[in-house]
A and B are shown apart, each in its own frame.
Chain A
Amino acid sequence: MTAMTAVQGEASGTGPFWRRPWRRPISQLTPVGQDERRPAGPRRSLRPWQRFRRAGWPYLFIAPFLVVFVAFSVYPMLFTLRLSFTRWHGTGLAQWVGLNNYAYLLTNPAFWASLKNSAALWLLVLPAQIVLALAIAVLLNNTALKLRGFYRVAAIVPFVTPLVAVAQIWVVLFDRDYGVINHILNLFGLPDVGWLVTSTWSKPTLALLFIWKTTGFIMIILLSGLQAIEPAFYEAATIDGAGRARQISAITLPLLRRTLMFAVVMQTLAVFQMFTEPYVVTEGGPYSSTTTAGLYLYNHINRADLGTGSANSFLLVIIMVGLSLVFVRLLRPKD
């Protein structure tokens, strides 16, 4: 850190040294990205290996990612695309069926029901979670608050715990006959609720698990956004007589727009690919009420119906990319 500031101080003290003509050799060492600064020079005369030394490094740095990306994302993706036009059950010859799989899915109520289940979970999760995370973050952003370190750590604990383990604890907690939650309700004279066995309560119970698990993470992201806001804005607003609520609506929320966008997009994608929670807690039931988009897709694999499953994958990708683009557009700062 000290080295960094020292260099910065030196650079500002001597001015933009790379622009000075006598410093030309340095600019040749700077990466291609900063070539705009370099006046048109004898570029043609570079030998291929020299050109690689100047321009090849970034490709080399990105190569490991690229290898993994091509082998385990691009190739499977193209393979899925081809598979989605066939009927295939894992063995024997794949039979070309054109758009049949897509037509089958788009006219299948179970497919739409899985999307509807995910959308319902999104509605149950997102608004509640963002408000809760924002409330905690705003309170923890107050440096005068005692115990804020403890609160912050406690909020992250659920995020750190393994989802499978927590999902199992959820099964035990929300059991209709032996669960703790109903035990507590009974203490207050309230009747048992079939949290996991009625289609009314199965989605809220899963949504609660999701909110419990990830709110701390969202809170930390929002808190970082809050801490990036200059305290001077608030001081000026206080001098102008703006109250706490007005400060939040006029300063905090507009300046937090980018961070909020990031959080909303991330959570939307997470909800639409929710798989482990329904897989472990409810196995998609009761009456398919918790068969999310992700779990419905998995069920094709379970039945070895790979062609339909691939078509389903593609539809899901289109939906997710579409959703994130909508949110990015909606929450883009106006400037």
Chain B
Amino acid sequence: MAVISTTAARRRLASQVGSHLFLAAVTAAFLAPVIWALLSAFKQPVAIIQRPLDLFGSGFTLVNYVRMFQDVPIGQGFFNTAIVLVIKGAITMLGAPLAAYGFAKYTFPGKPILFGAVMVTLMLPVIVLIIPLLLEMKELGWVGTYQALILPGSVDAFAIFWMRQVIAAVPDELLDAGRIDGCSEPGVFWRIVLPAIRPGLAGLGVLTIMNIYNDFVWPVVVASSSKMATLQVVLSTLAQNIAGHRISADYASVTGELLAASSIALIPLLVLFILLQKHFINGILAGSVKG
């Protein structure tokens, strides 16, 4: 008996060590590019290229950030992204759970077709709609306006799909109890469903912020003028600059600016994620783990 338990214990230890080795390697691969960029942005441009792995030994400088702020309208980008984030985010956070509630808890004529519409939107690549959507915006005179950035895709199909699963897990008895107590149908949604799915909503919130902040395909088409460009669009123009400079001797300083710009775009989301990681992960998990 004692022999068996020591072999078992040894095997368990070996598997623990193996797990940690594998996970540590994967984790290093996941984190290294981001950490390298964040730290390299504070190095002298020449040092970034000549000693890329020497992250601390070559002195601290803000020259990359200073040049980047001079060359790139990054503040304007942040401002535009913030406006879109607040308004589009609010529409998604209200509209998606509401529609999801309709789909999850009611049967009504036309429901299969309408939910099919959600699924089709889910499968439809954004890029497929870009041509007609752009023409529609031209027709409306909306090219280069906030409403063009905000309205298309504001009640997101994935959010509906996900929230429908979350709301389906709320027991019908709970809703009936609310109705017995005199809640109207919107009241049931507002006072019972929304509080019951709070973890899922928090997850949806973080995911929505992330999606809007990172959105690129539509903004680059409809708002490429520098006045309306969102942060990601501003960033991408910088990348095209670097392609132009590739041959020239200035490669180092453009690389430095690029890393500074990438870092400053990364940081808000990283901070948000580190602060709200529980909500984010729990939100994704909420659909399958029932309380």
Interface residues of A (CB under 8 A from B): 1, 3-4, 7-8, 11, 18, 26, 29-35, 55, 57-62, 64-66, 68-69, 71-77, 79-80, 83, 90, 132, 135-136, 139-140, 142, 144-147, 150-158, 160-173, 178-180, 183-184, 212, 216-217, 220-221, 223-225, 227-228, 259, 269, 272-273, 275-276, 279-280, 283, 294, 297-298, 300-301, 306, 309-310, 313-314, 316-317, 320-321, 324
Contacts and interface: CB of A to CB of B under 8 A. Distances in A.
A162 B265 contact: yes
A307 to B, nearest CB: 9
Given A57-B186, A316-B128, A139 B266 contact: no
Given A8-B171, A65-B160, A157-B270, A59 B133 contact: no
A131 to B, nearest CB: 12
B27 A65 contact: no
A225 B288 contact: yes
Given A58-B111, A79-B132, A212-B29, A4 B19 contact: no
Contacts of B284: 217, 220-221, 224
B128 to A, nearest CB: 4
Nearest to A298: B127
A72 B118 CA distance: 13
B235 interface: yes
A69 B172 contact: no
Contacts of A225: 288
A32 B102 CA distance: 11
Given A32-B108, A166-B34, A168-B239, 8 more contacts: A61-B106, A64-B98, A72-B151, A155-B26, A168-B262, A227-B288, A269-B125, A272-B125
A65 B95 CA distance: 7
B179 interface: yes
28 contacts: A4-B196, A29-B179, A33-B105, A33-B107, A58-B106, A65-B96, A65-B155, A75-B136, A80-B129, A146-B20, A147-B20, A154-B31, A157-B30, A160-B210, A161-B269, A164-B236, A164-B265, A165-B262, A167-B239, A168-B235, A169-B259, A172-B37, A228-B289, A272-B125, A276-B216, A294-B125, A313-B128, A314-B128
B140 to A, nearest CB: 10
A219 to B, nearest CB: 10
B280 interface: yes
Interface in B146-183: 151-155, 160, 170-174, 176-177, 179-180
Contacts of A280: 236, 239
B125 A316 contact: yes
B217 interface: yes
A61 B127 contact: no
B255 interface: yes
B14 interface: no
Contacts, number: 303
Contact of B235 (A3, A79, A162, A294): A162
B3 interface: no
B80 interface: no
Nearest to A217: B284
Given A155-B27, A156-B273, A280-B239, A224 B285 contact: yes
Interface in B65-119: 91, 94-96, 98-99, 101-103, 105-108, 111, 114, 117-118
Contacts of A301: 130-131, 134, 221
The 3 A-B pairs of least Cβ separation, nearest first, read A33-B107, A76-B132, A61-B102
A310 B127 CA distance: 11
Contacts of A294: 125, 127
A273 B126 contact: yes
A57 B175 CA distance: 15
User: Which of A32, A172, A183 has its CB near the most chain B CB atoms (within 10 A)?
Assistant: A172
Contacts of A62: 98-99, 102-103, 114
Contacts of B287: 224
Given A68-B151, A156-B281, A164-B216, A79 B128 contact: no
A172 B252 CA distance: 10
B62 interface: no
Contacts of B118: 65
A153 B259 CA distance: 23
B264 to A, nearest CB: 9
Contacts of A152: 281
B250 interface: no
A80 B131 contact: yes
B238 A57 contact: no
Given A72-B153, A136-B26, A168-B238, A162 B127 contact: no
A73 B289 contact: no
Contacts of A276: 216-217
B139 to A, nearest CB: 10
B258 interface: yes
B55 to A, nearest CB: 11
A25 to B, nearest CB: 9
A65 B128 contact: no
